Amino acid sequence: MTQFRVAGAQYFGDAWNWVDLINIGLGYWNIYNQLYCGTLELTTKLVLIALIMTTLSKLFFYMRIVESFSYIVTMILSVFRDLTTFLAFYAILIVMFSLIFDVISRNPAGEYALIGPFAGNLFSTLRLSLGDFDFGVLAETDAKKGALDSDQHLLYWLVWLAMVIFSALIFLNFIIAEVSNSYSKINENISELVYQERAKLINEAEDVMSKKARETNKQRFPTFIITREQD
């Protein structure tokens, strides 16, 4: 609240402040849901999961206080930023290949029975791209349940081959290479990045101080600093 009062509309310019607001809002919503809607209701579970996720983000934020954690948090955030384009490309690849599998057949596996055939094929394609192969479609022999004929079996294998080459062999390795590249790039500047994170934290601590306090407190806001180096 103090930060909002001092910073005004600029408060909403910082993504971490949004995480704070969402975390507080979800916290109260969760209390309401737990008390009045029932602990096992879907909405209650969704809100609690979102609350846990935002709490994790807040913990990541506070982990930056400790220098050794700050390195890791900075790296994770930077790697995520660098990977956005790759992950978007990967998502498109998965959706398009799952559409191809939709054309061939729905996946009869029991674990997809309650989420619908589209989501079922989407998840089975994602699992396929990670090397988790499932050939339930080919195992079906009953024509009434959508068994494929021999030509369609061939078509399935061709699509499977293309999918494995594109996603598991090429794209997954691209992502690993990109993470490695991003990691080494950040590692070169890690010391500067950690100081920048510290500057952000100090700036945030200063945001909650009034202008008057900043002008009058000479201990915290000195006009100059003298440093001495000892051999």
Partner 1 sequence: MEEEDGFSLLNALANTTEGQLAIFETDVVRDLIQYKWNSYAARAHWLSGAIAVLYTASLALYVNDIYLMDEQFINGKRNNPEADARLLLL
Where do contacts with partner 1 occur on this chain (CB under 8 A)?
31, 34-35, 38-41, 48, 51-52, 55, 58-59, 62, 65, 189, 191-193, 195-196, 198-203, 205-206, 208, 211, 214-215, 219-223, 225, 227
- Give the nearer residue to partner 1 in terms of CB position, either 127 or 200: 200
For residue 18, the minimal CB distance to partner 1 (Å) is 16
- Give the nearer residue to partner 1 in terms of CB position, either 13 or 110: 13
Angle (CA) 24-48-116 rounded to 5° is 135
Which own/partner pairs from 157-161 qualify as long-range (CB within 8 Å, at least 24 positions apart)? 159/97, 159/100, 159/101, 159/104, 160/128
125: its two tokens: 């394609």
For residue 119, the minimal CB distance to partner 1 (Å) is 23
Could you tell me what percentage of the chain is helix, strand and coil, using 3-state DSSP and rounding each to the nearest 5? 80, 0, 20
- Give the nearer residue to partner 1 in terms of CB position, either 2 or 180: 2
DSSP 112: G
Sign, CA dihedral 12-28-208-80, equals negative
For residue 168, the minimal CB distance to partner 1 (Å) is 33
- Give the nearer residue to partner 1 in terms of CB position, either 91 or 199: 199
For residue 110, the minimal CB distance to partner 1 (Å) is 19
Rounded CA separation 216/222 (Å): 9
- Give the nearer residue to partner 1 in terms of CB position, either 85 or 203: 203
For residue 65, the minimal CB distance to partner 1 (Å) is 5
Asked if 128 and 100 count as a contact pair (C-beta separation under 8 A), the reply is no
